[in-house]
């Protein structure tokens, strides 16, 4: 039996979506009550709200066609004209990829300069090795690049690469500084200490 869990990020955008749809339906009802034709009311409200970004998730936008809004309006009426009428049961499948795979990938990315997430993943997969259930030593890793992007944010990869470049630049600057200091020392001091000359006394004995 497949296991499912509720997405930790779903409740926030669902609540905001329900509030927006409730607001839209209230606006439609008010326009109709003031004598506006149904079609015009639905069209104007749909045009006003469609494409609006969610505050809790700016990458997600509300999509409202006129026909879709009509369906939401009927659901709102049946549900008691409250935001709860738009409650969704949004579940996502529990990921089957083991965490150690991406832990190893994170360590791999933090250990060397790499040009891109895709290039890093291809190089990582070519290494072979044991990566959990269904994987055998010496064989390529059977996880798609799309699965990687879904579970491993590209921003994390580029943060690590930025730190690697910063360390490399710091090491170069440190080496240059050390070379400069050594050169200045050699200009001031000889490689070997000068031998002191001892003045010999004249011996007048016969």
Domain assignment of residue 164, given as a range: 99-187
Q: Mark whether 15 and 47 lie in a shared domain.
A: yes
Q: Is 129 left (phi over 0), alpha (psi -120 to 50) or beta?
A: left
Paired residues of 126 in beta bridges: none
Residues 125 and 79 in one domain: no
Residue 201 lies in a domain: no
Q: Which long-range contacts (CB under 8 A, 24 or more apart) does 198-206 make?
A: none
**What pLDDT is recorded for position 1?**
37
pLDDT in the model for residue 98:
76
Q: Check whether residue 84 and residue 148 sit in a common domain.
A: no
User: Has residue 162 got a pLDDT over 90?
Assistant: yes
Higher pLDDT, 48 or 7: 48
**Average pLDDT of the chain?**
78
The answer on pLDDT for 7 being more than 60 is no
Q: Of 128-132, 152-156, 161-165, 172-176, which gets the smallest average pLDDT?
A: 128-132
Q: For residue 203, tell me if it sits in a domain.
A: no
Query: Strand, helix or coil at 180?
Result: helix
Overall number of domains in the chain: 2
79 lies in the same domain as 57: yes
Instruction: Look up the pTM and report it.
Output: 0.43
Cα four-point dihedral sign 104, 105, 110, 114? positive
The residue out of 75, 93, 111 marking a domain boundary is 93
Same domain, 16 and 81: yes
Give per-residue pLDDT as tens, 71-120.
Answer: 888 888 888 888 888 776 544 455 567 788 888 999 999 999 999 999 99
Residues 106 and 85 in one domain: no
Co-location of 85 and 106 in the same domain? no
Give the residue, 18 or 132, on which the prediction is more confident: 18
CB atoms within 10 A of CB 76: 23
Q: Would you place residue 202 in the very low, low, confident or very high pLDDT band (cuts 50, 70, 90)?
A: low
Please indicate, yes or no, if residue 199 is contained in any of the structural domains.
no
Domain co-membership, 116 together with 83: no
């Amino acid at each position: 039996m497949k296991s499912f869990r509720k997405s930790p990020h779903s409740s926030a955008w669902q609540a905001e979506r329900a509030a927006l749809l409730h607001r839209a339906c209230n606006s439609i009802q008010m326009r109709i009550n003031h004598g506006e034709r149904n079609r015009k009311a639905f069209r104007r409200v749909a045009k006003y709200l469609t494409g609006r970004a969610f505050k809790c998730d700016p990458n997600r936008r509300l999509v409202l066609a006129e026909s879709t809004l009509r369906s939401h309006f009927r659901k709102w009426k049946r549900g008691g004209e409250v935001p709860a009428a738009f409650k969704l049961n949004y579940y996502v499948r529990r990921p089957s990829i083991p965490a150690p795979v991406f832990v190893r990938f994170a360590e791999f990315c933090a250990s060397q300069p790499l040009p891109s997430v895709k290039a890093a993943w291809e190089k990582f997969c070519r290494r072979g090795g044991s990566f959990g259930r269904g994987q055998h030593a010496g064989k390529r890793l059977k996880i798609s690049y799309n699965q990687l992007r879904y579970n491993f944010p590209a921003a994390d990869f580029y943060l690590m690469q930025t730190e690697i470049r910063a360390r490399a630049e710091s090491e170069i600057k440190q080496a240059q500084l050390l070379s400069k200091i050594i050169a200045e020392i050699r200009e001031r001091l000889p490689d070997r200490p000068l031998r002191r000359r001892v003045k010999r006394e004249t011996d007048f004995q016969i």
